[in-house]
Each structure stands twice: as structure tokens, then as C-alpha cells.
Amino acid sequence: MLWVLNYFLEALRMGIFTLMTGRAGPSGYGSATTAEQVTQGADASGLNAIVTGGASGIGLETARVLALRGARVIIAARNMEAANEAKQIILDDCKAAKVDVLKLDLCSMKSIRSFVDSFNALDLQLNILINNAGIMFCPFQLSKDGIETQFATNHIGHFLLTNLLLDKMKLTAKLTGIEGRIVNLSSIAHVHTYEEGIRFDKINDQLSYSDKKAYGQSKLANILHANELSRRLQEEGANITVNSVHPGLIMTNLMKHSIVLMKILKLLTCLLWKNVPQGAATTCYVALHPNLKGVSGKYYADCNEFDPSAFARDVKLGKKLWDFSHKMVDSASLQ
């Protein structure tokens, strides 16, 4: 149960009283803020957004609120039946909503490339990319490309997807003058990872595999990816920001592999948990709020900036992960 202790200590560092009470932070928002509240008055008309994993949970709520504020939303999901049901939920909530559904399996690089081809065929600009989808605490298995599944889905899949969409986002920002925004969903779980932070030489090592640490490793990678991409885009002078967020503790389908354990944890830490509208708030805040114009390479929780772990702030580790991820993608492409 070391991972539970690590999560609790991180919550304590972030301000456990604030988490429990929902008291607003410097941004004017806190853990009790909902996605609708944090985007009140925001006008996303004319913006196009992709939300991975937008068929359920906080991904669906994120897609719904972005659509409610006027954005055209592309739900990227593996389960097309669930994605179409999510689309209908959004349309029932807002008849004027603009929603498209495209198939995306982040565990397959072939599927990711196919998704990008399908998106490009829509001939749309791209303003916002929400890298929301993920899997959690899975038994050891390899992806279709031969990569440990949590690392493949949570990090490598989004790394490739983002890189393939980056030119589109740069061009959109240049033509429209509107800042592009990329949001990586990380987690407080990034603090509970392997001793090295990222096990570059043991990503696929089944014998020493830990489902909890592998998840933490992938969530650490989400932050490092956002920080390194932000650094590179700033060097280019590209009008795109990249930030990472911890949505909070929310009981969703993501926890299906440890549902009993998570229910026990929720019972022990009930005051720290959020509902889905609250869980989507930080994502929507970072994606739409005008106060974050020009802000990049930061980590947010409860709609306020926080310092992530030392590993997550390690620039050298971020650069190493970037090169390692490129090599993994290139190697898979040659197979």
C-alpha cells in the first residue's frame, strides 16, 4: 500500500485542507469548481478541439463543456458505440453542439496514423488537443507494437498523436492568430513510479513489473512530454502552449482493473474525491481560460498551478524521454 501513502503525502503537500473544503486558490477556483463554472463566459465559437477518450468519464464531460461553449469537438475513442452514445448525450444537452466521432486506439500506432488521416480528411483547423484517454493499473501485457500497455497507451500513443497533429496546430495558430493549446492529463500518481523515474532499459520487463508503478511512470511521462514539447515550441516561437493537469481523484471506468481496491481507498479518503464535473474542471480551465494565455510548461491541479515531483521537473530526463519515445515510434514503424 506504499502507493496509497505516496498519493496521500502528495495531497498533503498540495494542501489537503484546500482539497477537502474546495476553498479557491489564487486562480479563484478550487477542487469544488465544475467545468461549467470555470468556463462561464468563455466563447469557444470557431475553435476545433480533439478530446481523446471523450466517450466517457471526464473526457465526455470535457467534450460536452467545450461543445457547450461553442467549440466543434472531435471525440477520439476506441469504442465507437460508446462514442456515438456520448455524442448523443452532448446533442441532447445542447442541440446546437458540433460533435464528430472518429476511431482511435492509442495502443496501436497504425490506428493513431489512421485517425490523423481521418481527421485531416475533415479539412478542419485544430486549436485544442486534449490528451485525456488512458488506462490504469493493468496486468502486464504488450501493445500491438510490442510496448508495455500502460506506457504505450498513456504516453507513447499521445506522443505520436501530438507529433502528427503538430504541424496542423502550428498552421492554424499562424493563420488565425489564435493561440493553440495542448493539455496532457497526468495524475497525482506520477509521484509513485520506479526508482529511476522512467525505466528506459526495462519498459517491457515483465519480471519486475508493478501495475501501480508502471501507471505512475506513464503519468510522469505525460508531464515530462508536456514540458519538453513546451520548451521546443517556445524555442520555435510557435503560438501553442502545452500544459499538464491532475484532474483529481474520480471514480470512473479507468479504475476497472482495481475497482474493489479503489472503492476501499475512496472510503478511507472520501473527502478528497471529486465528481466528474469537478474532475473535468482543470482540463477545461487550462484549455479555455483567458488567464492562461501564453502560459506553458506548467502543471495544474484544482485549476491552480502546482509544482510536480522532482522527476517531473527534471529537464534532462524530459529530453531523454523525448529521444527515447522517438526511437520507440521509429522502431515500431519499421516492423
State the CATH number of the domain containing residue 258: 3.40.50.720
Burial status of residue 237 (CB atoms within 10 A of its CB: 0-12, 13-18, 19 or more):
exposed
Nearest to 103 by CA among 89, 127, 87: 87
Tell me the angle at which helices 211-236 and 157-176 cross, rounded to the nearest 10 degrees.
Answer: 30
- Grid cell for residue 122: 475533415
Tell me the angle at which helices 80-93 and 57-68 cross, rounded to the nearest 10 degrees.
Answer: 40
Rounded to two decimals, the pTM is 0.91
pLDDT of residue 332: 84
pLDDT of residue 22: 60
Give the pLDDT confidence of 82-112 residue by residue, as tens digits.
999 999 999 999 999 999 999 999 999 999 9
Q: Helices marked H in 22-148 — which ranges?
A: 35-38, 57-68, 80-93, 109-121
User: Of 107-121, 170-184, 236-250, 315-329, which gets the smallest average pLDDT?
Assistant: 236-250
Domain residues for the domain of 288 are 2-334
Inter-residue contact 150 to 135 (CB < 8 Å): yes
Give the pLDDT confidence of 164-219 residue by residue, as tens digits.
999 999 999 999 999 999 999 999 999 999 999 999 999 999 999 999 999 999 99
The residues facing 271 across adjacent strands are none
Inter-residue contact 199 to 275 (CB < 8 Å): no
Q: Is a pLDDT exceeding 50 seen at residue 13?
A: yes
Tell me the angle at which helices 315-334 and 157-176 cross, rounded to the nearest 10 degrees.
Answer: 100
For residues 30 and 232, give the distance between their C-alpha atoms in angstroms, rounded to a whole number: 31
For residues 230 and 236, give the distance between their C-alpha atoms in angstroms, rounded to a whole number: 10
Q: Which residue has the cell 463566459?
A: 41
User: Of 6-20, 57-71, 137-151, 309-323, which gets the smallest average pLDDT?
Assistant: 6-20
- Grid cell for residue 48: 476545433
The arithmetic mean of pLDDT across residues 229-235, rounded, is 98
Instruction: Look at 147 and 332; give whichever has higher pLDDT.
Output: 147
Q: Is a pLDDT exceeding 60 seen at residue 255?
A: no
pLDDT of residue 12: 52
In this structure, the chain runs to a length of 335
For residues 24 and 67, give the distance between their C-alpha atoms in angstroms, rounded to a whole number: 26
Count other Cβ atoms within 10 Å, centred on residue 31: 28
**How many domains does the chain fold into?**
1
Residues annotated catalytic, as ranges: 209
Beta strand extents in the chain (DSSP E only)? 48-52, 72-77, 98-103, 128-131, 180-185, 240-246, 299-301, 304-306
The arithmetic mean of pLDDT across residues 324-330, rounded, is 97
pLDDT of residue 231: 98
The residues facing 243 across adjacent strands are 183
pLDDT of residue 257: 46
pLDDT of residue 8: 53
